[in-house]
């Protein structure tokens, strides 16, 4: 009412008023930036990385469907489907590619070269490849959350030794063609030697190789192992493979432990980073990139490892779990 009277009395020129209204209207209707994120996952058991990433992004103010859109895809490493997905991401000029694990990250980096699209990896090995230049300065247009495979595997064997010191022969099946395995073995073998442990190694292509080896051991008077330790790799992450290994362990009353499985009740311990929490560590890196920080200047993040002790299984096996080990555990199943 007051503004109308002022206009009528000639106190506010009509032209100035119209300009002010148009200016303010333009400020309030300015479109908000919507970020498009392409996600490539090559391991079904790692889907929770994407869940943790999205949840943390929401906490940081990125609301799905409002100011951010996710394009989640799964594909096997080196497949034509993987190539199609990455080509789609680059053709659509997404604002960010999130890729995991290692193989997906290296493929995404290759596809994004020559574009302005940054890449953030998760659960990816940085040893034995050229994914980054260094932890502090990853270089190029990439950063991420590493898979601390060698560090965690060494600690995993140390925990196993503390939990079951009588286990002097530890069976470790692995697929040597999996890129994460050679760097792990390089540090695991000297650690085992220093602990007085013999690693009973089996290089297996698939579950059938493991089944054949265990069947042969069953036919022998001595199975040749005192414990089974699983490594971070697709081969022993598969539910079917773990069922074979845990079944053999139960039959011979020996402990099995190592990595997170679908059926953790059979593991006597787990020492590994949790995928959901790894995803939550990806989000702050994406946020920094969206706010203008070049990806290659953002230091690579190392996740904390999670220790679970299955006290119930340990008692069934007659293992004496020290108070010190229980105090360090993030979770105890009793």
- The answer to which of 6-15, 130-139, 297-306 has the lowest mean pLDDT is 6-15
Of the pLDDT bands very low, low, confident and very high (cuts 50, 70, 90), residue 231 is very high
Tokens of 258: 């190592």
Percent of the chain at pLDDT above 90? 79
Together in a domain, 75 and 175: no
Same domain? 184 vs 327: yes
Average pLDDT over residues 82-88: 96
Kindly state whether residues 251 and 161 are assigned to the same domain: yes
pLDDT recorded at residue 76: 85
Q: In this structure, is residue 213 part of a structural domain?
A: yes
CA dist., res. 89 & res. 94, Å (int): 6
Average pLDDT over residues 85-107: 96
φ, ψ dihedrals at 139, nearest 5°: 80, 170
Sheet holding 119-124, edge to edge: 68-74, 35-41, 96-100, 119-124, 142-146
Give, to the nearest 10 degrees, the angle between helix 47-59 and helix 275-290: 50
Q: Is residue 23 part of a domain?
A: no
Are 198 and 315 contained in the same domain? Answer: yes
pLDDT (0 to 100) of residue 285 = 98
Cβ proximity of 123 and 147 under 8 Å: yes
Residue 140 inside a domain? The answer is: yes
Residue 195: pLDDT band (50, 70, 90) is very high
Are 327 and 189 in a shared domain? yes
- Mean pLDDT across 47-74: 97
- Is 70 exceeded by the pLDDT of residue 98? yes
**Which residues make beta-bridge pairs with 271?**
307
Instruction: Give the pLDDT band (50/70/90) at residue 77.
Output: confident
Gap between the Cα atoms of 5 and 11, Å rounded: 9
pLDDT of residue 9: 54
Same domain, 92 and 105: yes
Reply yes or no on whether the pLDDT at 264 is more than 50.
yes
**In CATH, what number is assigned to the domain containing residue 160?**
3.40.50.2300
Averaged pLDDT score across all residues of the chain = 90
Decide if 14 is inside a domain. no
Statement to judge: residues 267 and 293 lie in one domain: no
Residue 98: inside a domain, yes or no?
yes
For residues 126-150, average pLDDT: 94
The yes-or-no verdict on residue 247 having pLDDT over 50 is yes
Mean per-residue pLDDT, 33-40: 97
Are 173 and 315 in the same domain?
A: yes
25 pLDDT higher than 90? no
In a domain, 26, yes or no: no
Q: What is the pLDDT of residues 152-174, one digit of tens each?
A: 999 999 999 999 999 999 999 99
Say if residue 19's pLDDT is above 70: no
Q: Residue 124 has what pLDDT? A: 93
Domain count, the chain: 2
Q: Do 329 and 249 reside in the same domain of the chain?
A: yes
Whether residue 193 is found in the same domain as residue 224? yes
Q: Are residues 116 and 263 in the same domain?
A: no
With respect to residue 17, please indicate whether it lies within any of the assigned structural domains.
no
Model pLDDT, residue 141:
96
Do residues 128 and 164 both lie within one domain?
no
Structural domain containing residue 79: 35-147+275-303
pLDDT (0 to 100) of residue 233: 87
* Over residues 94-110, mean pLDDT: 95
30 pLDDT band (50/70/90 cuts)?
A: low
**Does a structural domain hold residue 110?**
yes
């Amino acid at each position: 009412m007051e503004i109308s009277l002022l206009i009528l009395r000639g106190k506010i020129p009509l032209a100035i008023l119209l300009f002010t209204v148009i200016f303010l209207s333009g400020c309030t209707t300015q479109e908000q930036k919507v970020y498009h994120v392409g996600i490539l996952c090559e391991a079904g058991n790692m889907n929770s990385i994407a869940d943790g990433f999205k949840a943390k992004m929401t906490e940081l103010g990125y609301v799905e469907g409002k100011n951010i859109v996710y394009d989640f895809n799964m594909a096997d490493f080196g497949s034509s489907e993987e190539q199609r997905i990455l080509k789609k991401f680059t053709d659509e000029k997404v604002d960010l590619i999130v890729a995991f694990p290692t193989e997906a990250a290296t493929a995404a980096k290759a596809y994004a070269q020559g574009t302005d699209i940054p890449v953030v990896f998760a659960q990816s090995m940085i040893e034995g490849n050229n994914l980054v230049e260094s932890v502090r300065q990853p270089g190029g247009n990439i950063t991420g959350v590493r898979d601390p495979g060698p560090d965690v595997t060494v600690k995993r064997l140390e925990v196993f030794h503390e939990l079951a010191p009588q286990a002097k022969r530890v069976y470790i099946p692995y697929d040597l063609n999996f890129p994460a395995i050679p760097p792990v073995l390089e540090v695991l073998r000297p650690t085992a030697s220093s602990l007085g442990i013999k690693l009973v190694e089996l290089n297996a292509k698939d579950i059938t190789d493991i089944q054949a080896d265990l069947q042969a051991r069953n036919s022998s008077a001595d199975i040749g192992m005192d414990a089974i330790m699983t490594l971070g790799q697709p081969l022993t992450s598969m539910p079917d493979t773990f069922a074979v290994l845990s079944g053999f362990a139960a039959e011979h009353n020996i402990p099995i432990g190592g990595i997170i499985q679908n059926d953790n009740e059979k593991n006597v311990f787990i020492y590994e980073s949790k995928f959901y929490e790894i995803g939550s560590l990806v989000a702050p890196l994406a946020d920094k990139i969206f706010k203008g920080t070049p990806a290659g200047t953002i230091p690579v993040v190392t996740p904390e490892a999670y220790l679970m002790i299955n006290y119930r299984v340990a008692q069934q096996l007659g293992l004496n779990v020290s108070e010190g080990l229980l105090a360090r555990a993030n979770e105890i199943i009793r």
